[in-house]
Structure 1
Amino acid sequence: MELEVAEKANAAAAAEKVKEKESAQRAEFAKLLNTRSGGMYIPPARLRAMQEAASSDKSSAEYQRLSWDALRKSITGIVNRVNIANIKKIVPELFAENLIRGRGLFARSVMKAQASSLPFTPVFAALVSIINTKLPQVGELVLTRLISQFRRSFKRNDKIVCHSTTTFLAHLVNQSVAHEIIALQILVLLLERPTDDSIEIAVGFTREVGAFIAENSPKANATVFERFRAVLNEGRISQRVQYMIEVLMQVRKDKYKDNPILPEGLDLVEEDEQITHQIQLEEELQVQEGLNIFKFDPAYLENEEKYKEIKAEILGEDSDEESGSGSEEDSDEDEDEVAETKEGIEDRTETNLVNLRRIIYLTIMNALNYEEAVHKLLKIQLSEGQEIELVNMIIECCSQERSYSNFYGLIGERFSKLNRVWTDSFEQAFNNYYTTIHRYETNRLRNIARFFGHLFATDSVSWVVFECVKVNEDDTTSSSRIFIKIMMQEMMESMGLKTLAERFKDPEVKRACEGMFPMDVPKNTRFSINYFTSIGMGVLTEDMREYLKVRHYFSFSLFYFIFHFSTMAESPLFFRMPRS
């Protein structure tokens, strides 16, 4: 018995010593991690023992620090190994790492690798575009940091950083990770006040992104080269830079044969799968520098499990039904949380609305024909209820032209015939513009009237919306009368007067147009008859003229009867009935 008690005491003492040793090693290892330089030299065997002691608790800060260092080294090594030949093999390795936790590390590594090897920029851009399809927050972070870096380097006149950053941005635009608006804004900034350095960077940037802009925004591309030509003619820059502009003009004539949009072997993402980020050059940017630094995560194990499920979904790995259902529940909860946070934020500055209108305007102005304009406008991501904003922008662009262009009418017609939502939006817009037409000057009023005249003539919108039009002396103004005149003349030119008159005799249209052709008060009826006759559409007033005739005859007959009856009542022969 005494031996057994002694053995138990020795075992307990040994266990306590082991625990004390492990805790001491863990404390020493934590102290080493917290020092800036890494501390003194430790033999590898002892370091491994300390790491093993620290990694026994996976939720501890020491273990998370070890995994963070391993993640940083792994991401950096994978990014440095990527090239055209092995990019398809590298991508699964990269997704195997926790890119959500290490998105700051990835952004820093890929930007550093690109800056040190500019010829590989298309490869890094292709890598970012692939990751952006599955994890768009990673692509957005890379793009945001690049724009921020360009702004800083431009203010500091750092030509080298500016050149490398614009090259990366150009290839991200080519890969449709970034919208072409950012490329145009950079060119405008570089060409606004030309210097040797800014023109040199602009020339290099245009060589990389010129083919994409020429294909997607030909009008903007022509404007950029007009500015290059003006800078060349001014002669304020050195001969070396002037020669660079002349070479760029030749590259444009050769249709960028040496600078294609997507080099061979790097067209790896389907157009429908790509997510394009519309980040402006002057907006506030969230660079999130804190993502580059290790931070203790209390929910580390849960987040790692969530990323395993995301990785299995991305890479197509098999997973159990239970884990699948669990991931769905977790994702639903995350979506609900995100929705709640979004509902709690209300943007009263209308910044998003202004940006949306700018994008719509640039898209319309850069289109060669109405089909291209409709195709590009449909790609713009609109929230529910924002359809009316697109419709209003189309009409506003039309009104700004010096003379009416059928281009806008065809855009409106195509949209109206695509979906009932667009038809309702144009009908609502007609009601709004007719109500406020007195605010517009004559030229804008004429363009808006011809635009709606085209829509009515092609049956793009229902004629029932004429309910809001009342042609009488009290409810019309000089502006509204001019608007109706121009709109009706446009409809008559497209349909013909006979067809127009027959259409207005349709029972449903006739019921909706009771305000245009009133038959309630003779004063209003005469006003409407005189108005439509004066604009050359007297044929539309036949029913009103007939109504006035009948009413006049009835009034005259009633007057004659009353007058004759009163005359007979005064006569002594009142009761003598005259023979017929």
Structure 2
Amino acid sequence: MDEDGEEDEGDEEGVEGDEELEGEELDQRLGSEQEDTADEEEDEEEWHGFGTESETEEVPSLMQVDRTEATNEPVAAPQASTSASKYVPPHLRKRAEAESVELSEAQLKLTRQLKGLLNRMSEQNIASIVDGVEEIYRNNRRHDVTETLTKLIVDGISSHSMLLDQYVVLHAAFVSALHKLVGIEFAAFFVQHVVTSYDSHFAALGDKLDAQPQPAGDTSTPDELIGKECSNLVVLLSELYNFQVISCVLIYDIIRSLLDGDLTEFKVELLLKIARNSGQQLRQDDPTALKSIIQVVHSKIPQDTSALSSRTRFMVETLSNLKNNKVKKAAGQAAGGEAVERMKKFLSGLSKKRHVMSHEPLRVTLEDLRSAETKGKWWLVGAAWGGNPLVEHQQEASNREAATPDAPSENALFKLAKKQGMNTDIRRGIFVVLMSSDDYADACERLAQLRLTEVQQREIIRVILHCCGNEKQYNPYYALVGQQLCRLSHSHKITLQFCLWDFLRDMGETTVGGAEILKNLSEDERAGFNVKSISSTRMRNVARAFGWWIAKDCCTLAILKPVDFTVLKPQAQAFLKELFTHVLANTQLSTPLLSSENLPTTRNKGPLEEVFMKGAKIETLALGLAYFIREAFRGEGGFLKWASQVALDVLRTGVDNVPVI
């Protein structure tokens, strides 16, 4: 038993010895693997790419690796982090480096493609270049293409030296084409970065000028400090406005920012660039804003113009000519203007041939673009907005009321409308619009926003004539509103005709009007017993308004066809003489500011003959007009004698039996 027991113990010892050997071999293997791991960790410590010496890194154990491989589950790549405690294994580092290399290579390839297209672009092949960029948009991420394209164009335009106008015009037309075809997102991104680049260059130039001491009162800029980056970017913005990428709102904001503070020679140069490139379009879009800006310019220049520099005097002269529509194109500006016209034709053809994504220009302000990163981009669909439009609108309204305390409120205007006999909501609304508008263009735009039916629109002319007649002094504002309305709709011309007939019937001319009107009149009204009392001021104001409308083809002399000029009552005679006096005079004028005492000195037969030729086509009307003009202006001299004779000569061509004076 003992031997067996010893043998059993020996066997047990042998087994234990074998197990110990196996354990030693396993320990050796694990030791060698741990040494290899330690070597790798030493290599990692020598690299010093992540973390510090004091930080302990967690290395996955062999059992974890084996278990992962056994289950065939992929190991999730750890996300790259800026924190130093995150360990990135070497094989994942190589993968991240390979991905970054691939991205950089793709970015370089995209940049080379776009730069090659831009370098080859000219007026002749701009259509094919636009097609090439569209193809690149289809094959790459849109934001990458937009960002790269914007960087290339802005860097190319913001050169330190002056660029040719044709070069800037070409790139502005290219941006406009992409604005139409790619969408508003491209134009919004591009314009925002152009304004940001302009602000940075302008601020850098201001810092240079502040660091450079100048004599007191000297507003000139040293030539070595002047770079043309701001000038080139301002020209680009002006051309983008010409091509309807941005609206006049942004351009006027830039002009106001340049007028803020002292008017230095560099600011004058930028103002001249805008005025010469986009001045005519600015005057067309918002003449009142241009007028206010010119007033600010005149307030900043001294009374003694001899102290001004030649460039400042030229800028003031250019703005004055622009205000008075006397634009003079310089010889060097002709090439740029011709390029603009050619590019406009290309863009209009593009809209006809291709599907256009955006039609309207961006109506963003300079403040909107500067605060886009904090408040958001309201002009882009889906963009987040950090402001409160309702609070801002209320604040702007309160600021306007504080700035103009004398302006009547809307409630006061409604009360005034009731006092003036505006007995319907439609008439009261029209009255409030007419009384609260800034000018005739603003009035017409706001009247269009009332959404009136065709029948309700007839009230507009009636309210205009009511307000015009009740003014103590003649106000040409109403004549301009009526003229603009007649240009927009023929129905307003018909309403003018009926209103004139109503006015003549109020003065006792009961035979004037249609058959239905005459049939509904009572016997007393036919006999003229119910003649309304019309003041001389009202009669004169209405006559002057109709004199302007007839002279400017808002209505023709044919509206006087039902008038019997041989049996006119005294009040109607005085009214028609005043009317024809202003018809004759307004054919020679471009604005309705004529007074009865100051008749025009020009003698242009063309417009006068054109007005009376339309009356000479109707024989009975021509006879009546010839009789009345001969009798009314008998004994007149000067302009009225000449103009009435021209009118009679024209009427004589339509009727052979008109008596000669």
TM-score class, shorter: 0.3 to 0.5
Greater relative contact order structure (CA < 8 Å, 6+ sep) = 1
TM-score (norm 2): 0.41
